Copies of this chain bind each other. A is one copy, B any other.
Amino acid sequence: MKSEIIAVGSELLTPYRQDTNSLYLTEKLNEIGVTVAFKTVTGDRRKDLVNAIRTALGRVDILILIGGLGPTEDDLTREAVAEALSLTLRRDATQVAALHARAAAWRITMPPNNLKQADVLEGATLLPNPNGSAPGQWLDVTFADYRKLVMLIPGPPHECRPLFDAECITRLREIVPARVIAKRTLKAAMIPESQADKLLAPIHTTYPDVETTILAHAGDIQLNLICVKSSQEAAEQRVDELASRVEEALEDWLYSSQGESLEQIVLYYLGLRQATLAVAESCTGGLIAQRITSVPGASRSFLGGAIVYSDALKAAFAGVPADLIAQHGAVSAEVAKSLAQGIRLRTGATLGLGVTGVAGPTGGSEAKPVGRVYIAVSDAQKNEALERTFRGDRTRIREWASQQALDLVRKRLM
């Protein structure tokens, strides 16, 4: 069955705000075998909204309207659906009482306008909204001789998403022909994009029944595999088969077969080896530590480290000798190695990571252009540095450098 999601709100037509609820809803709809054929964003003008609703009812079976259910005069979704489908709106006494009770509980005086949230479309089922004042509504109607399902869902994400899961998906499951879905997310680090294409295209194109989406970002490639079948076993078998072939092709570029992040994998291997990590970051300025510590429980294997932006701090926190910097420059393989070893010895960690580079936009030279980064990993056995030159702006260079650094730690632990 085909669906359309209409996100309602003038703020979603500015350069500053974007509808993100639809991504969440799309995932849930796809899981029960409903495709999203159109997404529309419309403002708070009633005429535009009615137009969008009629257009959608003419081209899909399931219409989901998000937003415009609040108490202000700009909230017109109920009124627009009534107009588009020629339905009446009646004020529901139970809902009016609930609104009064809610206002009393919050000790606020309710403006009369608020009562419009109690307006219910003719024939609609109310969908309880435990996280807000406006309930959702569910309509099962006939439009131009076809059966149409129409859902009105509140816009704030913490109201929209739980309500959609609890009320809409459960109802849709009973109506949509039963299908099951198997999913898998694989991830690989630092594989050149052209190489990834060359390796992957011949594989996944031979599985036309598994939908494969490939997302690339700053040294990270994510493959989402989705297969919809009438039996769980059949769907999972196809996904597993394709996943195995992808895993084999990606060799040790692959770091995750179940969707974990690179920082989660690094922490996993550290735990497995009963090892600890400390970092000394110059050009990445805390980004690597920040990524690692974003994972709950990181403190079990991550000790911390130093952000050594100045030469003085490279000496003070990681013991980098001043004459080493004078001889090779702060951005050099030698200083990266000294940072890695120094932070390891100072902190007593099993592994030390050192990063130094030119993040730009200034500070580059012919010998060491903007984007040049040196990354070293030191342990009791060895201390090796890698030289890379990344392209892009300051943000992208730092992202690439942090990705390469985490991947280097992962490889040392494997």
Return the chain B residue nearest A11 by Cβ: B213
**Min CB–CB distance A409 → chain B (angstroms):** 15
B306-A310 in contact (CB<8A): no
Q: Would you call A23 an interface residue if the criterion is a C-beta within 8 Å of the partner chain's C-beta atoms?
A: yes
How many angstroms between the C-alpha atoms of A303 and B307 in the bound complex? 8
**Known contacts A285-B289, A285-B292, A297 near B362 by CB under 8 Å:** yes
Query: Per a CB cutoff under 8 Å, which of B26, B222, B361 touches A296?
Result: B361
**Given the complex, which residues of B lie within 8 Å of A96, measured CB to CB?**
none
B348 A312 Cβ-Cβ under 8 A: yes
A-B contact pairs, 21 of them (CB 8 A): A12-B39, A13-B26, A13-B35, A16-B215, A37-B42, A37-B43, A37-B45, A38-B48, A48-B59, A284-B293, A285-B292, A285-B293, A285-B298, A286-B288, A293-B307, A299-B309, A303-B309, A304-B313, A304-B317, A305-B306, A306-B306
Is A346's beta carbon under 8 Å from chain B?
yes
**Whole-angstrom distance from the CB of A390 to the nearest CB of chain B?**
15
Q: Flag whether A395 is at the interface (Cβ < 8 A).
A: yes
Interface residue A238 (Cβ < 8 Å from any Cβ of B): no
Determine whether A321 belongs to the interface, using a CB cutoff of 8 Å to chain B: no
CB neighbours of A46 from chain B (8 A): none
Determine whether A327 belongs to the interface, using a CB cutoff of 8 Å to chain B: no
Complex CA gap A16/B217 in Å reads 12
Cβ 8 A contact of A305, one of B35, B40, B307: B307
CB distance from A208 to the nearest CB of B (A): 14
A398 within 8 A of B: yes
Range of interface residues on A (Cβ < 8 Å) = 35 or more
Please state if B309 and A304 are interface contacts (CB–CB under 8 Å): yes
Give min CB distance, A195 to chain B, whole Å. 16
Cα-based distance from A48 to B293 in the complex (angstroms): 45
Is A296 in contact with B394, judged by CB distance below 8 angstroms? Answer: yes
Which residues of chain B come closer than 8 Å to A290, judged between CB atoms?
284-287, 289-290
Fill in one digit per residue for A309-321: 1 if any B CB lies within 8 Å of its CB, else 0: 1101100110000
Q: Which residue of B lies closest to A31 (CB)?
A: B15
**When the two chains form their complex, are residues B40 and A38 in contact, meaning their CB atoms are under 8 A apart?**
yes
- B307/A279 in contact, CB under 8 A: yes
The answer to whether A14 and B308 touch across the interface, beta carbons within 8 angstroms, is: no
1/0 per residue, CB under 8 A from B, across A11-40: the answer is: 111111110100110110010000111111
